[in-house]
């Protein structure tokens, strides 16, 4: 286990890039072999839009990486953070570290973005995708990437995670982003039991259903346990899924990069279920 952490702490960025590209290639290949849905769309154009956001993300992450490094150095120097408060076996250190990094650096900020209107407007871009596939996990507005970077930094300060553990977490996170968005069939017999602990492809795809309450559920990134703990899970049969978001179903709204970049600064539209509009929400649910 120590060797694994040392490996991720010292692995060159070029090697990590190979891991990420290989993972994406694997899931794109599986989509062709065992697709969940037969979707009629221009896959190359769709991937081009999502990969454009990825390139922007890489630039932001390169600039913001110094924040994470500074947080790791601070925790190491002062021996601060939850993981440094008690001596743990290495295997338990890794498990607790990964789950806490996932809670703060992924689940929490994801939940907040669904419950704070101006932050939702940035996260909305991810939900506008009408054709969820392996590239959809890369579709995040630059503003959202800044939120996630700040919460990852916060997670490092709270946990006191080592640099190797942080890089291990980020690598696993990238793998899950590809797997859970990939348009692949996942054995039902495995999906339900695994989804009590891990985010499975079917578990996450419910989050991409186009209307509430599914949109505001199943927030998990790697571990689904946080959704079960905080009662934020919903279920939906795969054949009932409709991707996208009900407020942005027109092609110009979800398939134009310029419009997607400007979406957070456009007028808010209330979806079915009246998100952020309590009066309308309660009137609809008391009739």
pLDDT at residue 260, as a whole number: 96
Residue 7: pLDDT band (50, 70, 90) is confident
* Interval 48-60 mean pLDDT: 92
- Compare 281 and 153 and report the one with higher pLDDT: 153
As a whole-number percent, the residues of the chain with pLDDT over 90 amount to: 81
CA dist., res. 210 & res. 249, Å (int): 9
- Compare 282 and 212 and report the one with higher pLDDT: 212
* Domain housing 227: 2-285
Q: How far is CA 226 from the centre of its chain?
A: 14
CA dist., res. 219 & res. 83, Å (int): 24
pLDDT at residue 16, as a whole number: 81
User: Is 59 exposed, middle or buried, given 0-12, 13-18 or 19+ CB atoms closer than 10 A?
Assistant: exposed
pTM: 0.91
Angle at 122 between CA 118 and CA 123, to 5 degrees: 110
Say which range, 66-80, 116-130, 262-276, has the weakest mean pLDDT. 262-276
Q: Do the beta carbons of residue 50 and residue 199 sit within 8 Å?
A: no
Count up the domains in the chain and report the number: 1
Closest C-alpha to 112, from 79, 78, 147, 85: 147
Tokens of 157: 């300060």
Tokens of 61: 């992450």
pLDDT at residue 277, as a whole number: 63
What count of other Cβ atoms lies within 10 Å of the Cβ of residue 49? 17
Beta bridge partners of 184: 35
pLDDT at residue 206, as a whole number: 97
User: Is 40 exposed, middle or buried, given 0-12, 13-18 or 19+ CB atoms closer than 10 A?
Assistant: exposed
């Amino acid at each position: 286990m120590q060797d694994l952490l040392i490996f991720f702490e010292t692995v060159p960025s070029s090697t990590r890039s190979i891991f990420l590209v290989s993972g994406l290639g694997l899931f794109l290949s599986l989509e062709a072999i065992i697709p969940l849905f037969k979707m009629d769309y221009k896959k190359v154009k769709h991937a081009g839009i999502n990969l454009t956001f990825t390139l922007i993300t890489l630039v932001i992450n390169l600039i913001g990486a110094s924040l994470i490094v500074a947080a790791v150095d601070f925790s190491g120097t002062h021996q601060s953070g939850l993981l440094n408060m008690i001596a743990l076996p290495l295997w338990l250190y890794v498990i607790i570290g990964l789950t806490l990094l996932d809670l703060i650096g992924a689940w929490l900020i994801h939940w907040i973005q669904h419950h704070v209107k101006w932050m939702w407007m940035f996260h909305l871009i991810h939900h506008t995708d009408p054709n969820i596939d392996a590239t959809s996990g890369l579709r995040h507005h630059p503003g959202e990437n800044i939120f996630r970077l700040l919460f990852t930094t916060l997670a490092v300060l709270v946990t006191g995670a080592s640099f190797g553990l942080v890089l291990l977490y980020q690598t696993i996170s990238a793998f899950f982003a590809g797997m859970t968005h990939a348009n692949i069939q996942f054995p039902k017999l495995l999906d339900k039991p695994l989804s009590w602990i891990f985010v499975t492809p079917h578990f996450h795809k419910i989050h991409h259903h186009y209307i509430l309450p599914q949109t505001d559920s199943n927030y998990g990134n790697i571990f689904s346990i946080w959704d079960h703990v905080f009662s934020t899970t919903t279920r939906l049969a795969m054949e009932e899924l409709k991707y996208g978001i009900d407020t942005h179903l027109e092609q110009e709204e979800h398939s134009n990069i310029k419009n997607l970049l400007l979406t957070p600064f456009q007028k808010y539209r209330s979806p079915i279920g009246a998100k952020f509009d309590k009066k309308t929400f309660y009137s609809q649910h008391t009739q």
